[in-house]
Amino acid sequence: MPEADPESITKIDGHYMYEGKAAAYLIVDGEEAAFVDTVTRFSQPALLRALEAAGLTPEQVRYIIVTHVHLDHSGGAPALAEVCKNATVLAQPRAGRHLVDPTRLIAGVRGVYGDRFDELYGVIDPIPKDRVEILEDGEFREMGNRTFTFFDAPGHARHHFVIQDSGTNSVFAGDAFGTCFPQHYQAERPFLNYVCAPPDFDPAVAKKTVQRIIDTGVERVFVAHFGIVNELAEAHEQLFTTLDEYDALVNQAAATGLEGEKLYDYCGDATTQLVNKRLTEADLDSSDETIHFWANTEHMITSKGLAFLAEKRRG
């Protein structure tokens, strides 16, 4: 079932790969609505059920907001835009061009997932250019009694922005504020990780984005993987520590001289050790299968991102 908190926000499980991995959000204000992220085209029934449960129709959706174009968050945007015919798709400049022409995006993701692409994402159609609105850093749009302010948020991806919502004093952060799965809460203390996606992962830039989100003064952050982060001081500290540790890991990997699969395996093993150490520090049992699974749910992507950055740093 979708989870609502605060009242005007509904978290929707997109059932990407499995339950509880990737979320979309529905924002309702009066007779209008906006979706933040769409997960994949296979998530559309869940999004439309949430809209119906809110007493609204697809024609009342004003905005479809794409935090970034990684397909576990944007893959459903074309299909949703076909149904929500009055909606404008809002995107960061680097993201918008991939929504209008997804050819390069599709090729890149096929290179990662191979034969699983069709199973995971299905058909990714272009979105007509006149349906996509590009928003620059600091621009805003209004819906009902609230204002959405958009900020560039690189670090995880250069085509990423985040959305500050005046109606709930919150930020919708996509992947720019790490991952925070409910399975890692202990005594109301969250455990956060960070997805180091190739080719754009940059730990120093990611820290600047995290700091910018904190500096907005919001009360909570909605993350795509997976839900609501309320303990922002603790999250801030954890994310900075994690990003510093990944930064050091990249330097160590670069110094090994390893290449290709051997470099990827090195980064994978080192990442597992690092995550297990952080779980122990958070008083979480890394030998628990559930805890270990969710802590490593983006392990493949992070390992590739660290290996890619290690090669880049070698020059």
**What does the pLDDT read at residue 9?**
95
**Rg of the chain on CA atoms, in Å:** 19
Nearest to 149 by CA among 164, 168, 133: 164
221: in domain = no
Residues 146 and 250 in one domain: no
Choosing from 122, 145, 167, the residue where a domain stops is 167
33-88 residue pLDDT tens: 999 999 999 999 999 999 999 999 999 999 999 999 999 999 999 999 999 999 99
pTM given for the model: 0.95
179: in domain = no
129: in domain = yes
Place of tokens 């290996």: 307
Query: Helix, strand, coil % (nearest 5) of the chain?
Result: 45, 20, 35
**What does the pLDDT read at residue 111?**
86
Residues 130 and 265 in one domain: no
188-242 residue pLDDT tens: 678 999 999 999 999 999 999 999 999 999 999 999 999 999 999 999 999 999 9
Residues 244 and 157 in one domain: no
Supply the DSSP symbol for 149: E
Choosing from 167, 183, 202, the residue where a domain stops is 167
160-182 residue pLDDT tens: 999 999 999 999 999 999 999 99
pLDDT at 5 over 60: no
**What does the pLDDT read at residue 7?**
75
pLDDT at 150 over 50: yes
Residues 141 and 242 in one domain: no
217: in domain = no
Residues 9 and 158 in one domain: yes
174: in domain = no
Residues 139 and 19 in one domain: yes
226: in domain = no
Quote the domain boundaries for residue 270: 237-313
Buried b (16+ CB within 10 A) or exposed e, 285-309: ebeeeebbebbbbbbebbbbbbbbb
102-123 residue pLDDT tens: 999 999 999 888 999 999 999 9
Supply the DSSP symbol for 140: E
Residues 148 and 250 in one domain: no
Residues 160 and 248 in one domain: no
197: in domain = no
d(CA 8, CA 306): 38
Residues 125 and 251 in one domain: no
d(CA 187, CA 204): 30
Q: How many domains does the chain have?
A: 2
Residues 127 and 244 in one domain: no
Alpha carbon 16 to its chain's center = 13
200: in domain = no
Please give the residue that has the higher pLDDT: either 5 or 266: 266
3-state secondary structure 84-103: CCCCEEEECHHHHHHHHCCH
Residues 45 and 144 in one domain: yes
Check which CATH number belongs to the domain holding 125 and give it. 3.60.15.10
Place of tokens 């992962």: 201
**What does the pLDDT read at residue 187?**
62
Residues 139 and 263 in one domain: no
pLDDT at 4 over 50: no
**What does the pLDDT read at residue 2?**
39
Choosing from 121, 137, 167, the residue where a domain stops is 167
258-305 residue pLDDT tens: 999 999 999 999 999 999 999 999 999 999 999 999 999 999 999 999
